[in-house]
Amino acid sequence: AQKVTQAQTEISVVEKEDVTLDCVYETRDTTYYLFWYKQPPSGELVFLIRRNSFDEQNEISGRYSWNFQKSTSSFNFTITASQVVDSAVYFCALSVTEFGATDKLIFGTGTRLQVFP
């Protein structure tokens, strides 16, 4: 099966705390892409990062960092010194290929992050 699991349904933190959102995936593909998207309370979906399966370097962008580990099939997302504006639902997604069909993107069920002042 090819799937994305975000086991944390909801996380609550107080501002300035660090928080890690977990993403575990299953795939039979050797080449694939992983993504994180943010959905703030306004409802739109915003792209955060894309990572291909051959690039296991961790990435940092400001307060955001991502830890990709193929050995554990995980692509975790950490927010350092969280802020109220980080409150949103965060989705992890995986590209999948299927024999005889066009590649698709499948999403996890999302993690709702609430950051309290």
Partner 1 sequence: NAGVTQTPKFQVLKTGQSMTLQCAQDMNHEYMSWYRQDPGMGLRLIHYSVGAGITDQGEVPNGYNVSRSTTEDFPLRLLSAAPSQTSVYFCASSYSGTVYDEQYFGPGTRLTVT
| Strands 101-107, 33-39: pairing kind | unpaired
Residues forming the site for partner 1 (CB under 8 A): 4, 6, 9, 33, 35, 37, 43-47, 50, 52, 91, 93, 95, 101-110
Between residues 43 and 62, which has the closer beta carbon with respect to partner 1?
A: 43
The residue (of 44 and 71) whose beta carbon lies closer to partner 1 is 44
Minimal distance, residue 16 CB to partner 1, in Å: 29
